[in-house]
Structure 1
Amino acid sequence: MHRRECYHDIADSPYHEVIKLHLIKDISIPAIMPEYKLIYFDAKGRAELIRWIFAYGKIPYTDERININDWPAIKPTIYSNKVPVLMIDGTPYNESLAIARYFAKKVGLVPEDELLALRVDAGVDTIADKHLEGRPIIRAPISNEEKTKRFREELFPNVLKPFLVDINKQLEGKDWLVGDKVTWLDLHCASFFDNHKVKIPYLLDDFPNVDKHMKRVKELPGIKEWIAKRPFTFI
């Protein structure tokens, strides 16, 4: 004869420790959101892409902005002595594109297909190269009016215009630069040209595909709200 023992309380069972372990495994413990703080100048620059990704993914963070006049005193206290720096629960991380790529993966802006992801990375690096070509003007000890003049007379015809010709062709008949979904390359491209339009209002007049693409990205939920409330900056 087999005897079945019934227990009305887990504690009464000789197997109560095993049962407790299984119950604990089944309990879903909510993850604690890390605390993020982005440190950069009061500018768009190399931090704006990260801000757009945060906005798109609805990731809360502290947007800490440094007054450029305070930078000499603050610089020695900053990890690697350069910005942007992202603090994650008090631990610093640097390099803007590494930070952007990390969060782009988290919010679904990196393609699952590795070859598409490779094309996205290549496009991101190309834009970074164009950004570097404008850095001498940005860092020049001249007024914003003089910088604007140089952007229009030097950077636009020699760097931005040829690049825009290529991007405009890539976007022919397409909503997004790579694949059929928005990626962080689209955010990087739109943010890059949006920033330059401050200095060159006619930047996209001859490039309708790029213009439509930029407007499409700026209308994405989260990004639209961020653009509406962000502080205006020349750079």
Structure 2
Amino acid sequence: MVVRASNTSLGNVKNYHHMPQLKLTYFDHTGRAEPSRLIMAAASIPFEDERLTHEQFAALKPPLPLGQVPVLQVDGKTYSQSIAISRWVVPLGPVVVDTINDAVNAIVEVHWTEKDEAKKAEKNKKLTGETLPRIYGALDKLVRGTFVTGEALSFADTHVFDHFDSLVAYCVPDLKLHAYPKLAALIQGVKAHPKLASYLAARKKSDHGTTAMKAIPFELVPIFPIKGQSRTPEFLRMNPNGQIPVLQDGDFTLSEGNAILTYLAMKHDWTDLYPSDIKARAKVDECLHWHHTHTRLATTRVMTPVLRKVVGKASAQELAFAATKHKTMGKLLPIMETYLHDHAFLAQSSHYTLADIMCYCELDQIESLGVIDFSAFPNTTRWLRQMKSVPCHDEAHEALFAFMKRFNILPVPLEHR
């Protein structure tokens, strides 16, 4: 890997007799367009930031050069390929620097190109233990000051920042940046840059995952079963079981959380979450079925009874469940430890899938609120920490924590644990 930077910076923008009309087109998340967005934001270069849904991309794809995004339109002329686009933006910046594609290609090879799960796990060990430390160690030595070229923000810094902010955060969540102090300082410097701080603060946080994570537009309709809202005639026509969640997709209605997740994954081709390989998909399905009688109990027999006890609404059965919560989790967590002993995630996968998302939702709430002590289960604790770093995690939890804060049950009082 080689990074070469000129002594020019984003602070030295040229004056043009004609500022081109720029339109950058990509999906509604960070990815390969983000370095160019960062460059233009830092250099105060006006541009139209067109963000596509996957359905819009499918309609737009045929006439695109190479059938790919991102693309940059300059006064109506279209340029493709992310690196070429960044280099085109350079004279407007102006900055010149090579990228850290060695690390990008190494991560992509392991997490997306390799389909065999056993080989993927072996390659991931080499990736995190040898390849990335070598690349990042070399890159760390090239940083000359606050930024790559010194004290001025350059094209190099936007690429380095985006690499760690998006790809590494998603694929290598356990990476310890303290081993690369100059890179860690650079990332903080980019975040604090006066022209980028406002852009980053306003940036939509979406990348990978379900609905919000996949940037799929949807309407969330709150239903409160405790108020009888799931037993109304209108709701029972959607789901005679009187339970949530329920998905309405046009004239199609579907209930049961796991069924909804697999339906969305198959409809939108989320093969990173629900693999196309029949054996890998079967392992995800295995965990989703196991969830019903295992991790689901973390909610029905632990979290819900404890919370209802806190607010004085617990039934006799719920009080009994709350009293035996340690016994319930004592049966579940050793199984989780075994599942996670040789793999970073459930379903024998090196990256998270629908299985992890569903099981995590049950366990995270009791771990975050201190209902159960997980310290005796290191594999599960590591997995919980990794899942907290997935994109849109905090956004997905906002409503839950707002509800708990409203009733003053965050965290759960010690006497009720």
Which interval holds the TM-score relative to the shorter structure?
Answer: 0.5 to 0.7
1:231 pairs, out of 187, 204, 224, with 204
Structure 1 residues 65-214: aligned runs within 5 Å: 65-110=51-96, 120-121=97-98, 124=99, 127-136=100-109, 139=112, 155-171=127-143, 174-178=145-149, 181-195=152-166, 196-203=168-175, 204-214=177-187
Partners of 2:183 and 2:124 lie apart in 1 by 18
* Residue 54 of structure 1 pairs with residue 8 of structure 2: no
How far apart, in 2, do the equivalents of 1:72 and 1:153 lie? 36
Q: Secondary structure at the match of 2:86?
A: helix
- Check conservation: 1:152, 1:199, Cα contact below 8 A: no
Aligned 8 A contact 1:137 1:150 in 2? no
Q: CA distance change for structure 1 residues 76 and 150 in 2, over 3 Å: closer, same or farther?
A: farther
Work out the percentage of aligned pairs sharing the same amino acid.
30
2:25–2:71 Cα contact (<8 Å) kept: yes
Once residues 30 and 18 of structure 2 are traced to their aligned partners in structure 1, the CA distance between those partners, rounded to angstroms, is 29
Is the 2:147–2:189 contact (alpha carbons within 8 Å) kept by the matching residues of 1?
Answer: no
Q: 1-side partners of 2:46 and 2:57: how far apart? A: 25
- AA of the residue aligned to 2:85: I
State the shift of 1:139 in Å: 4.2
* Structure 2 counterpart SS, 1:39: strand
SS class of match (2:24): strand
Any unmatched runs of 5+ in structure 1? 1-29, 111-119, 143-148
**1:38–1:81 distance in 2 versus 1, CA, 3 Å:** same
The amino acid that maps onto 2:68 is K
Write out per-residue CA displacement over residues 6-42 of structure 1, whole angstroms, 9 at most, x where no aligned residue. xxxxxxxxxxxxxxxxxxxxxxxx9453221111122
What secondary structure does 2:178 align onto?
coil
Q: Secondary structure at the match of 2:194?
A: coil
Q: 1:36 to 1:141 in 2, by over 3 A?
A: farther
Cα distance, 1:176 vs structure 2: 2.7
Query: Does structure 2 retain, via aligned residues, the 8 Å contact 1:151–1:200?
Result: no
Q: Distance in 1 between matches of 2:150 and 2:71?
A: 31
SS class of match (1:222):
helix
Q: Secondary structure at the match of 1:163?
A: helix
Quick one: distance in 2 between partners of 1:33 and 1:57?
13
Range moving further from structure 2, 222-231 or 178-187: 178-187
Q: For residue 93 of structure 1, report the CA deviation from its aligned partner.
A: 0.9
What TM-score comes out, normalization by structure 2 length?
0.40
Equivalences, count: 186
Question: In the TM superposition, what is the alpha-carbon distance from 1:152 to its structure 2 partner?
Answer: 7.0
Does residue 33 of structure 2 align to residue 33 of structure 1? no
2:204 is aligned with what amino acid?
P
What residue is the counterpart of 1:7 in the other structure? none
1:85 to partner: Cα distance: 0.5
CA contact (8 A) 2:26 2:51 kept: yes
Task: Compute the displacement of 1:220 (Å).
Answer: 1.5
Q: TM-score, normalised by structure 1?
A: 0.67
CA drift of 1:190 comes to 1.6
Per the TM alignment, residue 131 of structure 1 is displaced from its structure 2 partner at its CA by 1.3
